[in-house]
Structure formats: C-alpha cells, structure tokens
C-alpha cells in the first residue's frame, strides 16, 4: 500500500514539473507563430454557402431576366 502513495506522489511531482516547464516555454514565446501571418494572404478563403440561398441563384436569376427582356 505504501508503494501506491510513493508512485502517486512521484507522478504528481512530475506532472507539476511538466506544467511549470510548459508555463515557462509559453512565457518565452516558444509557441508564437511568426510564419503563418505572413503567408495567410496567399491561402484561398473557403466559400461559405448560405443555407437559405442556392449557390449562383442570384447570377442565374439575372441571366433569366436578361433573356426574358430580349425575347
């Protein structure tokens, strides 16, 4: 039973050490991303489709109106 207490204490101590190391690395800027903001404008934006409107509906309506006027 005493082995469980020893292992539990050691595991908590190791977890605290890893947490302290993580906090120090965040404060020092280890996880700052300096590359992505400079190339973000090169990535294409994803098109967001509206749930109520069909894609290209406005464009197709304009074409149909023009065809009706010309006939």
Per-residue pLDDT tens over the stretch 18-52:
999 999 999 998 888 777 777 777 776 665 555 55
Identify the domain containing residue 25 by its residue range.
1-32
67 phi and psi angles, rounded to 5 deg:
-65, -40
Residue 38: inside a domain, yes or no? Answer: no
One-character DSSP codes across 6-56: HHHHHHHHHHHHHHHHHHHHHHTTTT---SHHHHGGGSPPPPPPPSSS-TT
> Is 23 part of any domain?
yes
8 occurs within a structural domain:
yes
Q: Taking the model in full, what pTM does it have?
A: 0.49
Res 46: pLDDT: 63
Q: Is 44 part of any domain?
A: no
Within a domain: 21: yes
Between 19 and 54, name the one with better pLDDT: 19
Residue 60's pLDDT is 60
Q: What is the DSSP letter of 25?
A: H
Per the model's pLDDT, the better-predicted residue between 56 and 45 turns out to be: 45
Tell me whether residue 70 is in a domain. no
Split into its structural domains, the chain has a count of 1
Q: Does some domain include residue 48?
A: no
């Amino acid at each position: 039973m005493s082995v469980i207490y020893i292992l539990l204490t050691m595991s908590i101590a190791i977890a605290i050490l890893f947490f302290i190391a993580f906090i120090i690395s965040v404060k020092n800027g280890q996880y700052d991303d300096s590359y992505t903001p400079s190339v973000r404008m090169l990535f294409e934006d994803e098109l967001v489709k509206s749930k109520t409107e069909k894609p290209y509906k406005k464009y197709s309506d304009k074409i149909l109106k023009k065809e009706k006027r010309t006939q």
